[in-house]
Amino acid sequence: MRKWAIPSALILLCLLSLLSDQGRKVHANADEGAVDPPKVEEKIGAVPNGLQTDSDVVKRESESISSRSLRSNAEKFEFQAEVSRLMDIIINSLYSNKDIFLRELISNASDALDKIRFLSLTDKEVLGEGDTAKLEIQIKLDKEKKILTLRDRGIGMTKEDLIKHLGTIAKSGTSAFVEKMQSSGDLNLIGQFGVGFYSVYLVADYVEVISKHNDDKQYVWESKADGAFAISEDTWNEPLGRGTEIRLHLRDEAQEYLEEGKLKELVKKYSEFINFPIYIWASKEVDVEVPAEEDESSDEEETSDSTSEEGEDEDAEKSEDEGTEKKPKTKKVKETSNEWELLNDVKAIWLRSPKEVTEEEYTKFYQSLAKDFGDEKPLAWSHFTAEGDVEFKAVLFVPPKAPHDLYESYYNTNKANLKLYVRRVFISDEFDELLPKYLNFLKGLVDSDTLPLNVSREMLQAHSSLKTIKKKLIRKALDMIRKIAEEDPDESSGKDEKGIFSGIVLELNIDGDAEVEKSGTDDDEKKGQYAKFWNEFGKSIKLGIIEDATNRNRLAKLLRFESTKSDGKLTSLDQYISRMRAGQKDIFYITGNSKEQLEKSPFLERLKKKNYEVIFFTDPVDEYLMQYLMDYDGKQFQNVSKEGLKIGKDSKNKELKESFKELTKWWKGALTSENVDDVKITNRLDNTPCVVVTSKFGWSANMERIMQSQTLSDASKQAYMRGKRVLEINPRHPIIKELRERVVKDPEDEGVKQTAQLIYQTALMESGFSLPDPKDFASRIYSSVKSSLNISPDATIEDDDDVEETETETETETKEGAGSSKGEAEPANNDADTDLKDEL
């Protein structure tokens, strides 16, 4: 035992010493690990305390990002049904141009900055201090985490705003855009419907929106586009001060948007004319001199000695000059540095001279302004400066297409597409006092140096200068539209009278204003442009004639329509007057459902035969239009379906009146119950025996139809507005001549009365009126058919002899059914049932 005791003790001592050394190492490692953990890039983007956080936050954020799940402690919400439909369409879209998401985010950021700058006009404290007061947009990318971040220092959103604008309350534009997408599949118009934010799901599968409003705490909105979103108070991210930061966790197939070059290209393409600076956190390589290491320098010296004699001479000279000190040797290396790079340094386009702005720049500016990034250019634009009592600069555009809701609730909504700036400061884009309603399809902006800045919107609306601005804008807008026609080769007036104004700059001096205007594209592009404009916005011009008495004549020059001589093309009132016959005093027109229907109208027979031109008005608004447009260029308008039509002079008119006096008097009496005011002879007809016309200032047949189709129409009130009906007969027609002979022979003949009634009802229907009693008309037609087939009026319809047989068959079938059902239970009765069938 003693022999083994000493070695065992030695072994135990060795083990204890090993364990103590291991403990000291563990303790040392623990001390080393107690140092502060590294923080996320201090002063990121030159922002004090930018995105600093601690290890716990890093851990929570990494867990959230890796799992792409909503935070457990956040308040959960469900997207509204229409928003979910919209997001499903976007997520599953095969649309190739996903670039639009950045355009929409920058546009929204610009709007937020505009709002806070407007509020700062009356309260400078809302901007805050330091970096918070800088109105700018910042873009940053993180390639490792695949996150693209866009930040603005705009007005920000409260918790309620986040819920309202990003999830639960779908704006009216959401359903409209969904319908548009389902019909056309064009995602490019998403910004026009106010739902551009959701385009982020073209490239991201998880989105965080961090926002801070001056009136609320900082909150985080997050969603995976799976039908739900969550909102929680932000206690872990960098305090924004004010504004919104959007983080897009990009899909694997959208990694191209983590390239600086791609983002710069998109900003240049879509957001060049945003009125706030857009910065990107750009990286670049720079050459930096650093001390060269000794071994490297000695290697360089040896190489130089062995390869260059000049190097030897220089070394000799250096050794001779012992008094001079040797400079430390350095070398240049490339280092990567980051800094904010400005992407949009273009001067506001309306502040530049029109001569310096290219057509491409105007098109891009329109797309940015109107959020219309389609392939079509604006139809026209007007860039001018007004000087005098009121000074302002303006750019107006005519869009290539009418908005989807242009005429919806026209009189009940205040829509304006002009942005108002005062001394380069955005004031409002809901200023409907700048243009009248009928010009609300125009896009553009006005920048005034005359209007005051630090006043409320209500005080600005009442400012006297606003009326002057509105007057000049209307004039310039109408001139711009007129020039579309003048420059269109298809418009003969543009060629003959004004020439082709192609790509020129006009300098005008009107009413003491120095104005500059620029417009123009190539002649080929301008061909058919006014017809396109008219098809899109023609109704607005007609509404302008109704509403704007001051500019009625100017607007009337812009009217276009088809006529009996236009060969299917649009023509103008000036062109109509140039084709008028000698001695023609009136401008003839007719209203109805369609051109095809009107071309066959009996009212045109005599006019076409005598080579008079008649205008076709087929739009329902035309009936209202012609109540206000009474004359043009000294010529009166005459509806050929109303009383008062004069087509030359008829030398036999008095004789015809006298010879048909008895018939007209008799016929008027026979139509007393039909509310016919008079029966007259006329020279407006050729092949038709008669027509029904209305009084000059009453409703036409077309107007009656329009009013009856109104949802809330009141038949009792309409009776007061109906024109008095007059039956005008053609004294040259054989039917009328024969009817006159029959009436002279026997005015009490019932057959003649029935015929006269049928003729009137036929004329009523052919003249565009609805029959009050269609059944009575049908009965008279059938009676006339009987007469033509020599069928006696007393002929009766044969009785239906199959009635009893049908009833018997029905009874038989019933009994058969009953018999068959009983047959299963009582098979003995089958023979009796067969005998009953045979008897029947």
pLDDT mean over 822-840: 41
172 is in an annotated binding site: yes
DSSP string, 330-376: EEEEEEEEEEEEE---PPPGGGS-GGG--HHHHHHHHHHHHT--SSP
> What is the β-pairing status of strands 278-291 and 137-142?
parallel
| Residue 472 binned pLDDT confidence (cut-offs 50, 70, 90) | very high
pLDDT at 816: 52
pLDDT at 542 > cutoff 60: yes
Please indicate, yes or no, if residue 359 is contained in any of the structural domains. yes
CB of 191 closer than 8 Å to CB of 173: no
Q: 0.75 cut: is pTM over it?
A: no
Q: Based on the fold, state whether residues 138 and 173 are members of the same structural domain.
A: yes
pLDDT at 701: 86
586-606: per-residue pLDDT in tens?
Answer: 999 999 999 999 999 999 999
What mean pLDDT, rounded, does the chain reach? Answer: 75
Residue 660 CB-density burial (10 A; 0-12 exposed, 13-18 middle, 19+ buried): buried
262-311: per-residue pLDDT in tens?
Answer: 888 888 777 766 778 899 988 877 776 767 665 544 554 444 444 444 44
173 is in an annotated binding site: yes
754 is in an annotated binding site: no
Which CATH number goes with the domain that contains 760? 1.20.120.790
**What CA–CA distance (Å, rounded) separates 468 from 392?**
11
| Residue 543 binned pLDDT confidence (cut-offs 50, 70, 90) | very high
Q: Based on the fold, state whether residues 173 and 104 are members of the same structural domain.
A: yes
pLDDT at 795: 81
Please indicate, yes or no, if residue 334 is contained in any of the structural domains. no
pLDDT at 115 > cutoff 50: yes
Length of the chain: 840
Please indicate, yes or no, if residue 331 is contained in any of the structural domains. no
More reliable by pLDDT, 324 or 106: 106
Max avg pLDDT among 32-36, 321-325, 478-482: 478-482
Q: Based on the fold, state whether residues 366 and 463 are members of the same structural domain.
A: yes
Please indicate, yes or no, if residue 591 is contained in any of the structural domains. yes
Q: Based on the fold, state whether residues 395 and 472 are members of the same structural domain.
A: yes
Nearest to 571 by CA among 480, 485, 484: 485
- Name the residue range of residue 629's domain: 560-639
Please indicate, yes or no, if residue 79 is contained in any of the structural domains. no
DSSP string, 375-402: SPPPSEEEEEEE-SSS-EEEEEEE-SS-
Of 610, 639, 668, which closes a domain?
639
| Residue 426 binned pLDDT confidence (cut-offs 50, 70, 90) | confident
The alpha carbon of residue 251 and the mean position of all alpha carbons in its chain are separated, in whole angstroms, by: 30
Q: Based on the fold, state whether residues 567 and 662 are members of the same structural domain.
A: no
213-243: per-residue pLDDT in tens?
Answer: 998 999 998 888 777 788 888 888 888 889 9
Which CATH number goes with the domain that contains 227? 3.30.565.10
pLDDT mean over 11-21: 53
pLDDT at 33: 39
pLDDT mean over 443-467: 77
Number of Cβ within a 10 Å radius of residue 95 = 15
| Residue 319 binned pLDDT confidence (cut-offs 50, 70, 90) | very low
478-487: per-residue pLDDT in tens?
Answer: 999 999 998 8
The mean-pLDDT minimum among 96-100, 562-566, 690-694 falls in 96-100
Number of Cβ within a 10 Å radius of residue 777 = 17
817 is in an annotated binding site: no
Please indicate, yes or no, if residue 537 is contained in any of the structural domains. no
Which CATH number goes with the domain that contains 580? 3.40.50.11260
Q: Based on the fold, state whether residues 686 and 617 are members of the same structural domain.
A: no
Residue 16: both structure tokens together: 């204890």
pLDDT mean over 483-505: 58
> What percent of the chain stands above pLDDT 90?
24
| Residue 832 binned pLDDT confidence (cut-offs 50, 70, 90) | very low
Domain total in the chain: 4
**What CA–CA distance (Å, rounded) separates 91 from 86?**
9
pLDDT mean over 546-570: 92
pLDDT at 827 > cutoff 50: no
687 is in an annotated binding site: no
Of 436, 467, 493, which closes a domain?
493
Region at 276 (left for phi over 0; alpha for psi -120 to 50; beta for the rest): beta
CB proximity list for 423: less than 8 A, separation 6 or greater? 447, 448, 449, 453
Q: What angle do CA 429, 434, 436 make, to 5 degrees?
A: 115
CB of 161 closer than 8 Å to CB of 213: yes
743-785: per-residue pLDDT in tens?
Answer: 999 989 888 988 999 999 999 999 988 888 889 889 888 888 8
pLDDT mean over 655-670: 89
pLDDT at 344 > cutoff 90: no
Please indicate, yes or no, if residue 143 is contained in any of the structural domains. yes
User: Edge-to-edge, what's the strand order for the sheet holding 418-422?
Assistant: 380-386, 392-398, 443-448, 418-422, 425-428
pLDDT mean over 463-483: 90
Please indicate, yes or no, if residue 614 is contained in any of the structural domains. yes
pLDDT at 839: 38
601-623: per-residue pLDDT in tens?
Answer: 999 999 999 999 999 999 999 99
pLDDT at 460: 72
pLDDT mean over 385-392: 86
CA atoms within 13 A on the CB side of 455: 12
What 3-state DSSP class applies to 456? coil
55-76: per-residue pLDDT in tens?
Answer: 554 444 444 444 456 676 777 7
Q: Based on the fold, state whether residues 95 and 244 are members of the same structural domain.
A: yes
pLDDT at 618: 92
CB of 225 closer than 8 Å to CB of 69: no
195 is in an annotated binding site: yes
More reliable by pLDDT, 559 or 166: 559
**What CA–CA distance (Å, rounded) separates 447 from 431?**
13
Residue 59: both structure tokens together: 């851990």
104 is in an annotated binding site: yes
Q: Based on the fold, state whether residues 272 and 183 are members of the same structural domain.
A: yes
pLDDT at 48: 37
580 is in an annotated binding site: no
Number of Cβ within a 10 Å radius of residue 817 = 10
Q: Based on the fold, state whether residues 631 and 661 are members of the same structural domain.
A: no
Of 469, 493, 517, which closes a domain?
493
Q: Based on the fold, state whether residues 91 and 236 are members of the same structural domain.
A: yes
**What CA–CA distance (Å, rounded) separates 378 from 35?**
64
> What is the β-pairing status of strands 586-591 and 614-617?
parallel
768 is in an annotated binding site: no
Q: Based on the fold, state whether residues 120 and 216 are members of the same structural domain.
A: yes
Q: Based on the fold, state whether residues 483 and 366 are members of the same structural domain.
A: yes
197 is in an annotated binding site: yes
271 is in an annotated binding site: no
Residue 205: both structure tokens together: 């599968």
